[in-house]
Amino acid sequence: MKRRDFLSLTGKVGATAALGFTSWRALAQTAATATPPAASATSAELLARAAAWHAQCLTLDTHVDAPLVMLRPGFDLGRRYDPAADLSQVDLPRMREGGADAAFFAVYMAQGARTSAGHAESKAKAHQLFDVIHKGVSSHPEAAILATEPDDLLRAAQKENRAIFIGMENAWPLGTDLSLVETYYQRGARYITLCHMLNNEVCDASTDTEKPNEHGGLSPFGEQVVREMNRLGIMVDVSHTSDATFDDCLRLSRAPIIASHSSCRTLCNHPRNLTDDQLRALRDCGGVAHMTMFNAYVAPVIEAPSAPPPWPNCAPASADANSARPNKSNAARP
């Protein structure tokens, strides 16, 4: 399989164009042909019906922060942990119990100093997280594989194993070194979330209130990064990015873009969420958005009066807030 084929529609599992491996079509076909539940169906019956649908699908979680917990001394990905005791959320036994066939483990970097020293530090931390993912998965060949292409999920599913993909959250470790995109590809990264809560050298973030329009979307370096990601077969992830960055990625990318963990701004008016127009644009380019169930992005936030948020509390957005921002023309930047 060629590297860029990771971004194509395989069709083998009725996949979405952006990811190439989640069986949404199978779920839709099952739901369409199923007999609707009786109005008197009990909760147990409805749960059993949902579980049956779930069992027929290959399921994927596109953003899992397990590597941060895996850094703890002695953490074993193959052991079942108690979240009440250690706050861990994911391990291989619980993935199996929950019917999660695959997940993208995140090489997550909170934004730090945009200096040579800061970029060097973030690069070292990124490699540490890659290392812990590789070690954790390779320690349990009977239960999981490190996946780098769609067919890996199918092979894992045939053996009832979990497929662990890798995504990078925040392009900060790139600094301004374009060659590192391929370095992280070789380490297994198959998507890069272009930023986190603050701007970096690649693009503007949705929640940087000090420099809300520093680059006007993608920086010139960020445009090079998107092209290089397209060349290699790394998915462009627009979760956390500003609206302008979203528009630039949509305009520039030759492959479908994704939002690995983003919710709906119409339902929860937070700049981190996607407008209906952005969701439609993702659909039209063949991309997908996977929801994040973090409270602040799906439910109203009760803020202390002494610390008001820099954006409106999470609430249904107005029609104006949901309108699309005009795309830049291709002539806006070289």
Please name the residue ranges forming H helices in 34-170.
Answer: 43-55, 66-70, 83-86, 92-98, 116-138, 150-158
Q: Which of 289, 259, 290 is nearest to 194 (CA)?
A: 259
Report the distance separating Cα 123 and Cα 201, nearest Å. Answer: 14
Report the distance separating Cα 143 and Cα 324, nearest Å. Answer: 45
What residue type is 38 in one-letter code? A
Report the distance separating Cα 188 and Cα 186, nearest Å. Answer: 5
Report the distance separating Cα 244 and Cα 240, nearest Å. Answer: 12
Cα 195 to Cα 1, 281, 315: the distances in Å are: 29, 20, 25
**What architecture is the 60-77+88-298 domain classified under in CATH?**
Alpha-Beta Barrel (3.20)
Report the distance separating Cα 128 and Cα 107, nearest Å. Answer: 9
pTM of the predicted model as reported, rounded to 2 decimal places: 0.81
- A 10 A CB-CB count for 166 gives 25
User: What pLDDT sits at residue 124?
Assistant: 97
Residue 58 CA, chain-centre distance (Å), reads: 17
Confirm if 269 and 316 have CB atoms less than 8 A apart.
yes
User: What pLDDT sits at residue 50?
Assistant: 87
Report the distance separating Cα 306 and Cα 197, nearest Å. Answer: 22
Residue 268 CA, chain-centre distance (Å), reads: 19
Report the distance separating Cα 306 and Cα 52, nearest Å. Answer: 48
Tokens 């996977």, residue located: 290
User: What pLDDT sits at residue 169?
Assistant: 98
Report the distance separating Cα 84 and Cα 90, nearest Å. Answer: 13
What is the dihedral angle through the alpha carbons of 33, 34, 39, 41, rounded to the nearest 10 degrees? -170
- Cα dihedral sign for 286, 291, 292, 296? positive
User: What pLDDT sits at residue 319?
Assistant: 47
Confirm if 264 and 273 have CB atoms less than 8 A apart.
yes
β-strands 189-193, 144-146 pairing:
unpaired
| Residue pLDDT tens, the chain, 334 long | 333 344 433 222 223 333 333 333 444 444 455 566 666 678 889 989 888 888 888 899 999 999 999 999 999 999 999 999 988 999 999 999 999 999 999 999 999 999 999 999 999 999 999 999 999 999 999 999 999 999 999 999 999 999 999 999 999 999 999 999 999 999 999 999 999 999 999 999 999 999 999 999 999 999 999 999 999 999 999 999 999 999 999 999 999 999 999 999 999 999 999 999 999 999 999 999 999 988 888 876 555 445 545 544 455 555 444 444 433 433 332 3
**Both tokens of residue 270?**
């937070």
User: What pLDDT sits at residue 127?
Assistant: 98
Half-sphere CA count of 256, side-chain side, radius 13 A: 25
